Chains A and B, each alone.
Chain A
Amino acid sequence: MINAKNLTKRFGKVDALKGLNLHVKKGSIQGLIGPNGAGKSTTIKILSTLVIANSGDVTINDIPLKRGVSVRSMIGVVPETPRLHENKSARSELRFHAKLYGMSQKEAKSRISDLLYAVQLEDAADRPIRGYSTGMKKRVALALALLHEPEILLLDEPMSGLDPVIRKQFKEIILDLKEMGKTILVSDHDLYTVEELCDSVTIIQDGKTVVEDTIESLRHETGSIAIELRVSDDSTMDGLESKLTSLDCVTDVSQKRGWVIVKVRDSKTDIPVVIHTASNHTDILEAKQTKITLEDIFLKFAGGHHG
């Protein structure tokens, strides 16, 4: 659905993108994650046709991005901080955009009513936007992005500045959109949100793609399961770490606040081996099993530069 190859973008003397690759499958929700300044927003802006790449090829639904008009009919964009015409109401802002998309008055009226209902802005729809909260503005931006029923949604930090209640509503709306078959690219700092929403992720760093795959595959590569072990004698932790590192079934070992964290791929076969090896080396006070998070994956691939 979205294919970007060797994208480069230079702003003055700064290389924002240095050959980024991105592949988003139809009907999926893909996360675009990376440290601050990695090039996430620039990528979204290029896909939105707002920023022009210096080189590289981008196709959306097999249509080259250069054919801006055809591409823009297929995409909806929600920016990190949506700026709206403050003197207008949500309804008149939507009405203006409906005209930009060539919608008939009748079609626009019914679509706007549906969207205002969906984003829960019916009561405030005729009030000037300048009195809206950040969450309300974000909901207007989402309604604007969905107005022309695009196949693809580009969401840049959709959850930033939202309170927990609105975040939950937003998540539900995004998951509903996926159910409707939309293809969604989400750039977000909140890795827990990305993990909850996305099927796959593209991790970028310094303007390049570090890794791109489904979260499950990356979890498998990182180690699907983490076992946290607490030992009675802290002086044995270093020895235990090197002992466990030598095991074939272990993908990673680290220490964190008195715990030794061991990552393995298979819970059934690998955990007993780890416990047995650890018990032989030192006294184990406590052991618990946790799932590998997207944060673990991110830290492994992005080298701990998460901003």
Chain B
Amino acid sequence: MVNLFKGVFAIIFDELKFAIRRKTITSYILFSFVFAISLYGTYMQEYGAAQGEMPLLSMFPIELEKGVAPLTDFAIFLMAFFVSALQSASSGTPPDVVLPVDIGITLFIIAPILIALSSLSKLAVRLCASSIARERESKTLYHLLVSPQPRAMAYLSKFIGAIGAAIPMIVLVFAGVVWIIGASFVPYIEVEQAAQLKNQVLIASIVTTFLFASIGMFLSTITRNEESAVNRGGWILKIMIVLTTVWIFLPIFSVAGESTASTIEKITMISPLTLDMIALYGGEMFNQYMLIQLGVGLLFLFSGMMIFVRQDVEY
């Protein structure tokens, strides 16, 4: 009986080596730059434990309704952020508006975490989309498939190898999260809440990476060449980012007119961001959302694997 584990590790390390050599360096540089700026921007805001109506919020005839209308809260958060940022930019001094911690946490989710998740998704989808399609295009895939490695095992090994290159990025994200929560929020939120926030960001990073890596593997299986597979992955990601951006701004319109508010609110409820925000009000919703992402990821991963196992391969 052939020692399968040696083969599995060989494929994983081969794919990982390729991923590190060709695909990740630019992504990591860009990610570090943008993530650091966004983290610093969030850090520079001044947060306080004030509750209820704040001086700033009195400019708007809307009250925070924590846990009741998160979308309305979100619109207020955004406006508060823009006002404080404008104030800072026009006066050249740090903003003298003390934002509620809730706003800080939301901004933290909107800026650095969304940037981190987008970067992770992009890296994962690119690495995985190229893994099988690249070998099919260069016609070297047959080497792997005439070896005694079961096809399903070869597929999963390539997946693990490709996704492995995203692990340092997840670690960086987590390190940033630990820092910003400790530096900006910990004095004002409970220890359990801070720990939950860190865990949620870590889980979201891992699950989002898994989801996009699985989509990448699926595309890699059904596409004949590397460029098409990576481009398709890129398009899926772009569409997701556009939709997320639209979802981010939809809540702002929800306060504009009463008649459309309920419709928009229903639409925005399916937004990943909305759900992430709601997760701040209750961990159960977050867990459900993560489970849905995990399920979709598994569906893509195993669909790709089933196709790959039954696929004809040329040499």
- A residues bordering B, Cβ < 8 Å? 11, 45, 48-52, 68-70, 72-73, 75, 77, 79-85, 96-97, 99-103, 144, 156
CB atoms of B140 and A85 under 8 A apart: yes
Contact B312 A101 (CB under 8 A): no
A100 in contact with B139 (CB, 8 Å): no
Q: How close is A140's CB to chain B, nearest CB, in angstroms?
A: 11
The reply to whether the CB of B59 lies closer than 8 angstroms to some CB of chain A is no
The smallest beta-carbon distance between A37 and chain B, in angstroms, is: 15
Residues of B with C-beta under 8 A to A51? 312-313
Roughly how many angstroms separate A45 CA and B312 CA in the complex, as a whole number?
Answer: 9
- Name B residues whose Cβ lies closer than 8 Å to a Cβ of A: 2-7, 9-11, 14, 138-140, 142-151, 310, 312-315
Is the Cβ of B140 less than 8 Å from the Cβ of A52? no
Q: Is the CB of A77 within 8 A of B146?
A: yes
The residue of chain A having its C-beta at the shortest distance from the C-beta of B10 within the complex is: A99
B11 contacts across to A, CB distance below 8 A:
100
Known: A79-B315, A102-B3. A50 touches B143 (CB 8 A): no
In contact, B150 and A69 (Cβ under 8 angstroms): yes
Question: Do A68 and B151 have beta carbons less than 8 Å apart?
Answer: yes
Q: Which residues of B contact A97 (CB under 8 A)?
A: 143, 147
Residues on B with beta carbons closer than 8 Å to the beta carbon of A77? 142, 146, 315
B158 to chain A minimum Cβ distance, whole angstroms, is 13
What would be 12 A-B contacts, judged by CB atoms less than 8 Å apart?
Answer: A45-B314, A48-B146, A50-B142, A51-B313, A69-B2, A73-B2, A77-B146, A81-B139, A83-B315, A100-B143, A100-B144, A102-B5
Shortest C-beta distance, A282 to chain B (Å), equals 55
Contact B7 A101 (CB under 8 A): yes
Min CB distance, A99 to chain B, in Å?
3
Task: Contact check, A50 vs B312: say whether CB atoms are below 8 A apart.
Answer: yes
Residues of A close to B138: CB separation below 8 A: 83
A100 & B7 in contact (Cβ 8 Å cutoff): yes
CA distance A51 to B145 in the complex (A): 10
**A41 CB to nearest chain B CB (Å):** 9
Which chain B residues lie closer than 8 Å to A144 at the CB level? Answer: 143
- Determine whether the beta carbon of B4 is less than 8 Å from that of A52: no
**A52–B311 CA distance with the chains assembled, in angstroms:** 8
**Contacts of A82 on B, CB cut-off 8 Å?**
315
Of all chain A residues, which has the CB nearest B145?
A: A50
Q: Which residues of B contact A84 (CB under 8 A)?
A: 140, 143
Choose among A45, A99, A101 the residue that contacts B315 (Cβ–Cβ < 8 A): A45
Contacts of A85 in B (CB 8 A): 140
Whether A100 pairs with B140 at a CB distance below 8 angstroms is: no
Give CA–CA (A57, B50) in the complex, Å: 76
Expressed in whole angstroms, the Cα–Cα distance for A117 and B284 within the complex equals 64
Known: A52-B310, A68-B150. A102 touches B143 (CB 8 A): no
B76 to chain A, nearest CB (A): 55
- A68 CB contacts on chain B under 8 angstroms: 150-151
| Residues in A neighbouring B310, C-beta threshold 8 A | 52
B145 A101 Cβ-Cβ under 8 A:
no
Residues on the A chain within 8 Å of B139, using CB: 81, 83
In the complex, how many angstroms separate the beta carbon of B44 from the nearest chain A beta carbon? 46
Residue of B nearest to A46 (CB): B312
- Kindly list chain B residues whose C-beta atoms are within 8 Å of the C-beta of A101: 2, 7, 147-148
Q: In the complex, what distance in Å separates the CA atom of A93 from the CA atom of B105?
A: 51
Q: Look across to chain B and name the residue whose beta carbon is closest to the beta carbon of A9.
A: B312
B290 CB, min distance to chain A CBs, angstroms: 35
Given known contacts A69-B2, A72-B148, A101-B148, is B7 in contact with A79 (CB within 8 Å)?
Answer: no
Return the chain B residue nearest A85 by Cβ: B140
Can you add 4 more A-B contacts, CB < 8 Å, to A49-B146, A97-B143?
A51-B313, A100-B6, A100-B7, A144-B143
* A-chain residues with CB within 8 Å of residue B6 when the two chains form the complex: 99-100, 102-103
Q: B193 → chain A, closest Cβ, in Å?
A: 48
Which residues does chain B contribute within 8 Å of A45, judged by CB atoms?
A: 312-315
List of B residues within 8 angstroms of A72 by Cβ: 146-148
CB distance from B291 to the nearest CB of A (A): 34
Given contacts A77-B146, A101-B148, contact A50 B313 (CB under 8 A): yes
Which one of B9, B145, B314 contacts A49 once the chains associate, using CB atoms below 8 Å?
A: B145
